[in-house]
A = this chain, B = another copy of it.
Amino acid sequence: MSFKAQESLSEQIAQHLARQIIRGEMLAGDRIQELRIAGELEVSRGSVREALLILERRHLIDILPRRGAVVKDMSEAHVRSLYELAQVLLGLVVRKAIKVMAEDDMDPFILSIQQLQHCADERDMDGFFEQSFRFLELAYPFSRNPFVEDIMANLQPAIQRAYYMALHLDPDECKECLSFFKAIIETIFRRDVRSALEIIREFAEHQSSLVQESIVRARQIEAAWGARRKK
């Protein structure tokens, strides 16, 4: 029993740290010191260690032999791989949803879209961000596939990190996202698998490029800055 309780504590610590990484309050390469976190949160080092293993599994940190835990780099390859996989899994979710969803099942999604619309109108980016993943979490169970649900739960923090970045890169990105969510719901209504998969592919490629381009730009700025300092 104490074991279970501890697992849930490390899950809480993991979520606390994940939030900071997702929101860019901790940056790629930042070290995460077990001892400091344990002190700050008043928890045991063992719980922090377990939390770090959870975060490693969720692709938010690397645990390196001598350096310990560091926030994972967001390389272009990382982002490309992430959206490529998310596209395929979301495709499976929507294909299954089209098979199994009844008309009543759509109500929470329509409500969710209304809330997304509201957040977009109010330029409430944090609200929009939270609501986007509530929408997706509503969808996963319709895959009727516990493996997919499990993978999505573990993959979601890494997706959130990229998605958060995308929303803050371009003020119009939330409109793109909103159109995506609306289009997906429409294709599920029409039971149009082919269009659904196409919409998912287009959106994943669009957002993947957006985030990748900003990574390239950041690297160029950093390099220019480095060159200037050398002068």
Contacts and interface: CB of A to CB of B under 8 A. Distances in A.
Interface of A: 3-4, 49, 57, 59, 65, 77-78, 81-82, 84-85, 88-89, 91-92, 144-148, 150-151, 155, 158
27 contacts: A3-B49, A4-B65, A57-B57, A59-B147, A59-B150, A77-B144, A78-B146, A81-B144, A81-B145, A81-B146, A81-B147, A81-B148, A82-B147, A84-B92, A84-B145, A85-B92, A85-B145, A85-B147, A85-B148, A85-B151, A88-B88, A88-B89, A88-B91, A88-B92, A147-B155, A147-B158, A151-B151
A159 to B, nearest CB: 10
- Among A57, A59, A144, A145, residue most surrounded by chain B Cβ atoms (within 10 Å): A145
Contacts of A88: 88-89, 91-92
How many copies of this protein are present in the complex?
Answer: 2
Chain A binding surface, main DSSP class: helix
Contacts of A82: 147
A173 to B, nearest CB: 23
A149 to B, nearest CB: 9
Nearest to A3: B49
A49 B88 CA distance: 34
A82 B78 CA distance: 26
A85 B91 CA distance: 11
Given A59-B147, A81-B146, A88-B88, 7 more contacts: A77-B144, A85-B145, A88-B91, A88-B92, A147-B155, A147-B158, A151-B151
A150 to B, nearest CB: 8
A145 B3 CA distance: 34
A77 B149 CA distance: 14
Nearest to A81: B145
List the 3 closest pairs (A to B, CB-CB), nearest first. A81-B145, A85-B147, A88-B92
